[in-house]
Amino acid sequence: MAVAARKHRLTYAEYLALERETDLKHEFLDGEAWAMAGGTPRHAALQNNVSTLLRVGLASRPCRPYASDLKVRVLDTGLATYPDVAVICGAPERDPEDRNAATNPVLLVEVLSDSTEAWDRGGKFAHYRRIPSLRHYVLVSQDPVRIEHFLRQVDGTWVLREHGSGDTVALDDLGVSLDVNAVYADLPEEPPEASPEG
């Protein structure tokens, strides 16, 4: 999460007005809004690869992947955020306060970055676990090749399955899987960080 957009606590209506005024995406929680930073080309390519694989795999099923322009709201906690990829089966259920926010994803994907990894693994996942419809949470590392798949069991507990090169992430109840090598195919190289002059 980045620096809060404003000093005073916002109502949800004020948060929505902030997004309209700035034309930027923000995460919202407990009266605070954080502008979401853009990702690297590698981050964007991984996000696109996952979304494309899901779109092709779900083409004949009543489920649809959505890219990071779809806002998801956790009704139990109030978190509003834009996951890298969300899958919804059937019609999106809308947040009563925000017609553009869906509340019923079955799968959420986050591509990890240095600035968001701790939040994606910890606090954000704690919020996501409060979504009754959510059955899969997938974390995609930028480097090394690693996908972590958290699967909700019938009793509500979550099981972690880790996948590397050559593996397949099985999303059995959705009738689709993710080939790890395809997720990491044709990624741009990240340029080395510039060294300070001196």
Share of the chain above pLDDT 70, in %: 92
Shared domain for 125 and 171, answered yes or no, is yes
**14, amino acid identity:** E
In a domain, 193, yes or no: no
pLDDT tens-digit map of 8-57: 799 999 999 999 999 899 999 999 999 987 789 999 999 999 999 999 99
Shared domain for 77 and 97, answered yes or no, is yes
pLDDT tens-digit map of 89-112: 999 999 999 999 999 999 999 999
Shared domain for 29 and 53, answered yes or no, is no
Q: Average pLDDT for residues 57-72, to the nearest whole number? A: 96
Question: pTM of the prediction?
Answer: 0.92
Q: Are 83 and 73 in contact, with CB atoms under 8 Å apart?
A: no
pLDDT of 193 reads 62
pLDDT tens-digit map of 139-156: 999 999 999 999 999 999
Shared domain for 156 and 138, answered yes or no, is yes
pLDDT of 2 reads 45
Residue 142 has a CB neighbour count (10 Å cut-off) of 20
SS3 110: strand
pLDDT of 1 reads 44
Shared domain for 22 and 45, answered yes or no, is no
> What is the DSSP code string of 68-104?
TTSEEE-TTT--EE--SEEEEESSPPEETTEEEEE--
Q: Are 27 and 36 in contact, with CB atoms under 8 Å apart?
A: yes
Shared domain for 23 and 118, answered yes or no, is no
User: Which residues constitute the domain of residue 125?
Assistant: 39-183
